[in-house]
């Protein structure tokens, strides 16, 4: 990957039957509830796998210097 991974979590809100995401660098997305739930499960699985790949770093704790 050419870009550095973000260490700021994306905000999620529910508005008028949609799940809205607001994240770094102007990220703005909306999902149906079903798509949001499936995406959340996929992200949780990927986060667990990535955490294991980075020396067992606990999820939620960044080892990057700020």
In whole angstroms, give the CA distance from residue 32 to residue 42: 15
Task: Report the SS3 class of residue 62.
Answer: coil
Task: Find, among 44, 6, 4, the residue nearest to 24 by Cα.
Answer: 6
Q: What is the pLDDT along the chain (66 residues), one digit of tens a residue?
A: 458 889 999 999 999 999 999 999 999 999 999 999 999 999 999 999 999 998 666 666 555 444
pTM of this structure: 0.73
Domain coordinates of the chain in residue numbers? 11-53
């Amino acid at each position: 990957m050419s870009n550095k991974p973000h260490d700021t979590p994306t905000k999620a809100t529910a508005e008028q039957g949609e799940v809205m995401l607001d994240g770094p660098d102007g990220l703005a997305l909306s999902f149906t509830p079903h798509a949001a739930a499936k995406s959340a499960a996929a992200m949780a699985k990927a986060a667990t796998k990535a955490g294991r790949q980075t020396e067992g770093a606990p999820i939620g704790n960044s080892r990057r210097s700020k």
